[in-house]
Chains A and B, each alone.
Chain A
Amino acid sequence: MDESQLRLDGNAAAGILREVFAMDVSGAQEACASCGTIGWMGAQHLYMYPLAPGAVVRCSTCGDVLMVLVRGGGRYRLALPGLRWLEMREPVQAPPET
């Protein structure tokens, strides 16, 4: 089996991340705590159900685990074991009408 059949890009986690976060996380920037690379969450590597028992986001540079989200038993458990930081954009406000 080709590796790409098991791996998704981080954008595919947008649905489950929207269930937990008020802001768009797949469009957020992040820094990997392991290798320091700064990137977009949506561009990292994702292993997710049905190919994994949870959503596992790994750094596309070094492969370390950035974020794990497991939904089950009526709960969400979110772990951020490998994120130095996560930065979300403030939603753009519509300009006031003149």
Chain B
Amino acid sequence: MDFISRGFRGRPREQAPAGRLPPGQYMVRDFPVLSAGPTPHTPLSRWTFSITGEIDEPRQWTWEQFRALPTETITKDIHCVTKWSKFDTVWEGVSVDTLLDGVDTTAEYVLAFSDGGYTTNIPLQDLTEGKAWVAFAFGGEPLEPEHGGPARLLVPHLYFWKSAKWVRGLRLMSENSPGFWETYGYHDYGDPWREQRYSGD
């Protein structure tokens, strides 16, 4: 079987509203599923969310404790590095500001880690001040496992590989350390508006 080129698509593309589509992207109505490995199915009774690394007292929540935290409804456009964008996606989640509330850290970088071994690195300042969430619902329904449920990171201003599916915690770090796709050739930061797809873009 031949590798499917990025140029091939079966349907004509819809016109996106002007100014809303980052360079090189096209608009979709469905929600494509991308994954670098099998879908984990961690039972909620064994699920925890942790803040580790450069923090005096590491934090951990069980699912019940996590779900007792204040939540927000978030409506954002999302942009996948494989070139699809989806507008007005509606999520419910806990703000990373809430999870880091009162944390005193010298860290400037974060490595998000997930069930299944996936990781992605993000500057700490890109996760704070209302820019990132740990989302547990999409479109008013619990987040399905194929889309990262029970909970995924949501960092909508960066390419969507940064929004780690099946996220289980954040490691606060003083030095940057590349995650999975960042190690294997994707951009360290991943700003869709500057089309930072690949290492060196």
Residues of chain A contacted by B184 (CB below 8 angstroms): 54, 68, 70, 77, 79
Tell me if B100 is interfacial: C-beta within 8 Å of chain A. no
- Whole-angstrom CA separation of A58 from B36 in the bound complex: 9
**Per a CB cutoff under 8 Å, which of A3, A68, A77, A79 touches B39?**
A3
Tell me if A91 is interfacial: C-beta within 8 Å of chain B. no
Contact stretch, chosen from B46-54, B55-63, B122-130, B192-200 = B192-200
Interface string of A38-78 (1 = CB under 8 A from B): 00000001011111111010100001010010101101010
A63-B34 CB under 8 A given contacts A1-B146, A12-B1: no
Number of A-B contacts (CB under 8 A): 83
Taking a contact as CB atoms under 8 Å apart, the answer to whether A70 and B32 are in contact is no
Interface string of B23-44 (1 = CB under 8 A from A): 0000000001111111100000
Interface of B is mostly: loop
A70-B185 CB under 8 A given contacts A51-B34, A56-B36: yes
A54-B4 CB under 8 A given contacts A63-B38, A73-B200: no
Tell me if B14 is interfacial: C-beta within 8 Å of chain A. no
Interface residues on A, range: 20 to 34
**Per a CB cutoff under 8 Å, which of B3, B117, B198 touches A15?**
B3
- Whole-angstrom CA separation of A6 from B35 in the bound complex: 7
Taking a contact as CB atoms under 8 Å apart, the answer to whether A19 and B3 are in contact is yes
Smallest Cβ distance from B35 to chain A, in angstroms? 5
Tell me if B75 is interfacial: C-beta within 8 Å of chain A. no
Q: Chain A interface (Cβ within 8 Å of chain B)?
A: 1, 3, 6-7, 11-16, 19, 45, 47-54, 56, 58, 63, 65, 68, 70, 72-73, 75, 77, 79
